[in-house]
Structure 1
Amino acid sequence: GPDVLSPAVEVLSSDYLDTVSRERVRRRLADWLGQRIAGLVRPLFKARKASLNGPARGLAFQITEALGSVPAATVANLVSALSPEDRKALTRLGIRFGTESVFMPEMLKPARIAARVLLWCVHTGESPVQPPRAGAVSSAIEGPLTAPLLEAAGYRTVGNRALRADILERVAAGARQLSRHGRFAADSSLMALAGCSATELGEILVALGYRQTIEEDGSTFFSRRRPRRGGNRRQQEKRKARESASPFSELGQLRIGGS
């Protein structure tokens, strides 16, 4: 078909159907299939038909072509060009902006993940395969579950594993929280969230940009960026002096004390 959401329908030749009848059958099947797909992946068609302009239209196109999720780095230029109104319009369409992905949570439901896998297989000419287990937050990249297929299904490949786009955002947020105070160990809550082993989580964190140090009692991780410690000392002193001289500083203290 012309795009991933519009697979073509062909009717095989048969002694029981002449050319006119075969075309009639093809049209009826195409109509039925189009309606069926529109129902299964309704959020994508809603985004495709939305009245958008400029970068917002371009971003919606990228997301629908990718079946509901794209790496944030891939569309960074489009995202940075969005106006506040553009963001609101896209948010109303169910599009969420994460640090790792721009995605539609509604397209991460089990039935829609299965539809994404089937549509991708048909569009690329691959043999249909079983999607990841319903509700799976992550998947091994092995056998028929290749990295391109899992990306099309709404997962993001990090390390040797693929995490569902929404779960990857939560793992990344958890790691950022842990890294605020410097080195950190990958705790059990992150492993449970990612649905993986300690070794696999280490690979995921490295793929997210953290450095790993292997020690006798386990691995620790730290951000490539040095944690902020409040900025320049001279600037802090100037800011404190301005705040103490402000007539609102006492008011602020009264409000805090009275809360």
Structure 2
Amino acid sequence: MDGKQCLITGGTNGIGLIAARELARQGAHVVIVGRNPEKTAHTVELLRQTTGNPNISSLLGDMSYMADVRRVAREYTASHSRLDVLLNNAGAFFGKRLVTKDGYEMTFALNHLGYYTLTRDLMDLLKRSAPARVVNVTSEGHRLGRIDFDDLMKEKRFFNQWAYTQSKLANIMFTLELARRLEGTGVTANCVHPGIVATSFGKEHPSGLMNFLIALFGPLMLTSEQGADTLIWLSSSPEVEGVTGKYFIKRKERRPKRQARNPMACARLWEVSEQLVNKAAP
């Protein structure tokens, strides 16, 4: 990864932080995206010290707010001539229904529209940098999800688990459609379930069910290092050079649920996402 340029969202903690650290140790130039200026600056300094790699920097942005996402893409493009790896990792589970500045349900906006918008706005740079890779973090929870095109924002009825699993299904559908659209460009797109990882995920806006699951399965959860392993592998390994449109768990390809493999549904999600982003603040 010497000299490769990597952009990582959600890179200030958990598996995103570990992925940033390990890619930097391999010699990559790493840019992390964070919301909190102080925490992000501290993370950059920590990564530089622990890896011995000075080529680590940051961009600030709220990945649930499309104007911020688009600004991050513009700032990255203005300061970098290439992008070898885009790792879409920022995401969260929210115990109650929240609405973003754009008026969108927070889970869908952060977990899906943030991925879509950043990737879309960096598409030309990725193509110019080929061979390049897009890696999207999703979840096995997608198997319990359903894309409800009539109520994507869960205005009619909100249940936090439905909102979360819908967003994770959207991650896979987006990945497969992205891979189809990038065919022949030298840019690959894959997604990964990191496992149930013992991080702060789900604790910022907890729910009773999430607290119960954390307490029940806490001793069985993976470390951040274990959870980040396949992310790092997909971002850097020669073994997956040219592999695209796949879903991985523990470095093994897995078959996602049927709706995720429906080309018409994937194309429709892309079109709806484009419309939503275009309606949001520029």
Give the shorter-chain TM-score range: under 0.3
Normalised by the length of structure 1, the TM-score is 0.26
Which structure: larger Rg?
1
The answer to which structure, 1 or 2, has the higher relative contact order (CA under 8 A, 6+ apart) is 2
Normalised by the length of structure 2, the TM-score is 0.25
